[in-house]
Structure 1
Amino acid sequence: MRRLVLLAAAPILALMLTAAEPPAAPDRPLTDVAQEARAQALFKGVRCVVCQHEAIADSPAGVAGDMRRLIREEIASGATDQQVRDDLVRRFGDYVLFTPPMRIGTWLLWFGPFSLVLTAGAALALNARRRAAEPTPLSAEEERRLENILRNEKLRRDPDATSPHDGR
Structure 2
Amino acid sequence: MKVPPSEQFRGLIKSLGLLIAGAIIGCAAFTAIFHHHLNSVLVKNTELIAENEKLIQDNDLYKRHRTQQNIINRIEVTVEPDDLNSLDKVTAQELEKKVRNELSVLKGQKVASFSEAPHIYQRLLSNKTYHDILDKDYIVNVKTMLLVQTELKVWITAKQWVRSIP
Q: TM-score, normalised by structure 2?
A: 0.34
Answer 1 or 2: which has greater strand percent: 2
Q: By percentage of residues, which structure has more helix?
A: 1
Higher relative contact order (CA 8 A, sep 6+): 2
Q: Report which of the two structures shows the higher radius of gyration computed on alpha carbons.
A: 1
TM-score (norm 1): 0.34
